[in-house]
Amino acid sequence: MKVGIIGGSGYVGGELLRLLIQHPEMEVVTTTSRVYAGEYIFRIHPNLRGFTDLKFSPMNLDTLAKETDLTFVALPHGSSVKIVPKLVEIGQKVIDLGADFRLKDKEDYVKYYGWEHPTSGLLEEAAYGLPELNREEIKKAKIIAVPGCMSTSAILGLAPAIKEGIIEENRIVVDVKIGSSGAGAKPTRASHHPERFGGVRCYKPIGHRHIAEIEQELGKFTSNPISISFSPHSVNMVRGILSTIHTFSKKELETPHIWKTYRGMYGNEPFIRLVRDKKGLHRLPDPKNVIGTNFCDIGFEIDSHSNRLVIFSAIDNLTKGAASQAVQCLNITIGIDEETVLKTPSLHPA
């Protein structure tokens, strides 16, 4: 299968390339970059030296239509909405790693992104690309919208508890710690090393865009209104997300019941690992242990003092939070083993 990548020079584009050039069923035939057109890919993604001699190309829809079967779009929010409809029109299947087709309610784009969606008719046609929840939709969709990285972590951590109805749906606090690569490859004052190093900075403490995704997807499991309180923090690491999720139980909880709830939903999922160990250093999820992988590690603790179920969810923001999740969706949509090119352990120590 021949694939193209629009926006291949960023961190997510680099991770897509790393996975796809090793994929036994794929051939990357074109990778676009506005800034680096004509430059060898390995000069921007040095880890790929010796794996590909492909160069970045200018974006050309005619070339994509003629040479590829499927296109990945890895562009900033608000950019893919200008391109994806054209790709669909020329018969392309699209996996979009931006936010432009994740939300079903067009008014959410006005509320959370500050612009009106110009092709809102396509929103219902797009599948929300979280395989553990939406496999059947992913198989059939022409547009697959890969979830946000922090949304992925929060939704996977919360879904079993919401589905089982054991926590209060209107009192959920999601506290996220995320590495600097979540800010993208283009430097800003906030991501500048001297400003970021050694600190823990809360940004967008209220009203974060990912709230819309989390409430939308968790709302499928309950008729009660979902309310998410969400605050992300930038921390002193390059990759990874840890979501510490504070929920409040509707009844007294026991550990075997929580194990049963999570195993019941994720027992056959190849990329969900339940981590709650009684021994060793790594007793609960830690993003350090999933770096470079498609795993989501989930754990929990019961706080009987305050009637809390505290859920921990760890992923790599660039892989399970973006590129490898996109490849997992690709594997599903073409009907091959989901684990193809993805089942690999992280490095340790890292």
CA distances from 154 to 87, 176, 312, 315 (A): 31, 9, 9, 10
DSSP category for residue 40: B
> Can you tell me the distance from the alpha carbon of 7 to that of 22, in angstroms, rounded to the nearest whole number?
19
> Can you tell me the distance from the alpha carbon of 126 to that of 120, in angstroms, rounded to the nearest whole number?
10
Asked if 35 and 5 touch (Cβ cutoff 8 Å), the reply is no
CA distances from 303 to 153, 209, 254, 308 (A): 21, 29, 10, 5
> Can you tell me the distance from the alpha carbon of 326 to that of 342, in angstroms, rounded to the nearest whole number?
11
- Cis? peptide before 349, omega within 30° of 0: yes
| DSSP string over 89-103 | HTT-EEEE-SSTTT-
> Can you tell me the distance from the alpha carbon of 13 to that of 251, in angstroms, rounded to the nearest whole number?
45
Residue 149 annotated as catalytic: yes
Q: What tokens were used for 130? A: 């979280």
244-275 exposure pattern, b = at least 16 Cβ within 10 A, e = fewer: bbbbebeeebeeeebeebbeebbeeebbbbbb
Out of 149, 202, 296, 329, the active site residue is: 149
Sign of the four-CA dihedral 328, 332, 127, 97: positive
List residues with catalytic annotation.
149
